[in-house]
Structure formats: C-alpha cells, structure tokens
Amino acid sequence: MVSSRPMIMMLFLKRVEIDLCSRRPESARRFLLVGVAQTPAANQLGLEHRVFVLNTKPDPIVCFNPKIVHYSEKYAVTEEGCLTFPGLFVKIRRPQWIRVRFHEADGSMRTETLNGLAARAFQHELDHLDGVNYLSRAKKIHMDQAKKKQKLIDRKLKRMQLA
C-alpha cells in the first residue's frame, strides 16, 4: 500500500517527537548531553511497522522494510548507546560497511552502501525491528566497563541537578 506510507511516516515521526519530548524526557536529555540523538525504530514506539529513520545529513533517511544485502568482511568495535538503556554505552563489534535495501516513503526501492556511523546506526535499528537487543552482542568485559561508566555519568548528572 504505497499511498499509506507517507501517512505512516508522519505518524511515526510524530510518535517519536512525543516519545522523546514528553514520555521519556530524561532519556532524551541524557542522549542530547552526550551528543547522540537517534530516532527509535517503530516497534520501540508500539507501532507495528518495519520502519526507522536514520538521522543522516543533510536529510534523514526513512527506511521501510529494511534489510542488509551484503556485509563488509572487516569489522570495527565502537561504543553504542540506545534510548532503551539511557547512559549505557557499550562496545559492539559490527561490520564496517554494509549494502542495504529498503523502500522509501513514496514506495520506491532504494539500495545504498553505508559505512561508519550510518552503517552502525542502520544495523542497530534493524536489530530493534528483528527483536535483537544490542546488549546481546556485547562481550562481558565490555558490559562491565559500560556499567561502570554509566554509574559515573549518573553521579555527574545528579550533581548537575543539585547545583
């Protein structure tokens, strides 16, 4: 149903705005403090659609029915965070670049090669749609390190609020 996609996109983006600004203001504030503002996948907001928005520059990319069609053989380990676990940034191993395919809001098929942060964000959001929690991809040592860092961040935020 191509004609319904723009409406779904509008509802999705409005739901994101409501979720970040009113239902979870602390989560949004924490992420903005560390310079990360990623859009959640539709299923994180209670919507039954396979869609997410990548906040790329100059324009965001809306991805309907996204899939990865090819992975890089080289991997990178980088910290990832998620609105589901505010302040928890864990080192995750993922392919450095990926080739992806998805439908745009107008129904057209699009194929892109993504690398760096865009590739990582696409994989993270696709994991959400597939029911995979990014923490399940972390090694135990990286989880332990991340939890220690999270406690430090929480203490700093409390001190900032008291000041």
Which residue in 26, 79, 80, 125 is the catalytic one?
125
Beta strands, E only, 41-74: 51-54, 61-71
Q: Is 24 helix (H, G, I), strand (E, B) or coil?
A: coil
125 included as an active-site residue: yes
Answer whether the bond into residue 25 is a cis peptide, omega within 30°: no
DSSP of 69-121: EEE-S-EEEEEEEETTEEEEEEEEEEESEEEEEEE-TTS-EEEEEEEHHHHHH
Q: Are 109 and 103 in contact (CB under 8 A)?
A: yes
Q: Which residues participate in catalysis according to the annotation?
A: 125
